[in-house]
Amino acid sequence: MVVDSGSDIVWVQCKPCSQCYPQSDPLFDPTISASFSGVSCSSAACDRLAAETSSTSNDSDRCRYEVSYGDGSYTKGTLALETLTFHDSAVVHDVAIGCGHSNKGMFVGAAGLLGLGGGSMSFVGQLGGQAGGAFSYCLVSRRSGSGSGSGKLEFGRGAMPVGATWIPLVRNPRAPSFYYVGLSGLGVGGVRVPVPEDLFRLTELGDGGVVMDTGTAVTRLPGPAYAALRDAFVAQAGDLPRTGSGVSIFDTCYNLNGFVSVRVPTVSFYFSEGPVLTLPANNFLIPVDDGGTFCLAFAASASRLSIIGNVQQQGIQISFDGANGFAGFGPNVC
């Protein structure tokens, strides 16, 4: 399942499937699960779902749901209670999940989505006191070969690492599922980029702000902030050979074919409370083909909202203590 800290609903593709994308594992068949139980429209779980998604409906007293994502992906189906068993043999009973009968999106063969957002319907929210709103993860680098590293996802207060750098979470009542953080600026090569902090501020109306999201690949920044970061990077990486054009959403790419190694300027996030997170090069200069083309893995946002995506998070232990309102970085890597 895709781990998504930017949404709440836990769902899997289910038989019978009117529209399903290809997945690696067999489709889940609820008729052969002894622990699967449908949810009625009058249930507390359906009421919570309606309050958080505003997209439920009645159908023969079954609670139906529909969730859409920012990239146009969606899932539609019925809500149910099910037992989830993890590879380490941990078992969680009566988890409200979506049984998706119509699903579309770029989920790359995954069976569904494990929502870890801040709402009550997310997996963390449903764990309640068992986890204390806390979880920690380390996303293994995309460039790690098999056996050269492993990611980790842990739940509960015991997963909160000693020695992490902690920053406060910023609450947005209009988007309670998202984990907002205070970002004051950006840096390239250890030099702060001239970007007004207001570009990253969450307004009283709930617009803008900076979200940390495992379900988004590449970090998005407001147009002026992205342009300033890109221009600073290009200026400091002047000796690297540029390609004649961009690739997909990336407009700053380099032809590194034949290079054994290159020196590139660092990229850093400056957080409002003082900490600075400096990224390893693999987290911002990424290969986009087999011919040695590497691109700066940032893009301009179509709105004031900034999103720190999973490419920038990879290899760094990241923790969320939702109950106490903090996000942490480190101290471990993966």
Specify whether 213 is catalytic: yes
Closest listed residue to residue 165, CA positions, set 268, 269, 276: 276
Q: In sequence order, which residues have a C-beta less than 8 Å from that of residue 158 and are 6 or more positions away?
A: none
Q: In sequence order, which residues have a C-beta less than 8 Å from that of residue 214 and are 6 or more positions away?
A: 3, 4, 5, 6, 116, 137, 139, 310, 313
How many angstroms separate the CA atoms of 134 and 285, rounded? 31
Q: In sequence order, which residues have a C-beta less than 8 Å from that of residue 318 and are 6 or more positions away?
A: 136, 137, 138, 139, 212, 327, 328, 329
Catalytic residue chosen out of the listed positions 25, 47, 94, 213: 213
Neighbour count for residue 302 (Cβ, 10 Å): 10
How many angstroms separate the CA atoms of 30 and 32, rounded? 5
Contact between residue 76 and residue 101 where contact means Cβ atoms under 8 Å apart = yes
- The amino acid at residue 116 is L
How many angstroms separate the CA atoms of 87 and 98, rounded? 21
Catalytic residue chosen out of the listed positions 4, 61, 88, 290: 4
* Count of residues in the chain: 334
Residue 241: cis peptide before it, omega within 30 degrees of 0: no
Angle at 151 between CA 104 and CA 214, to 5 degrees: 40
Specify whether 290 is catalytic: no
Q: Which residues are catalytic?
A: 4, 213
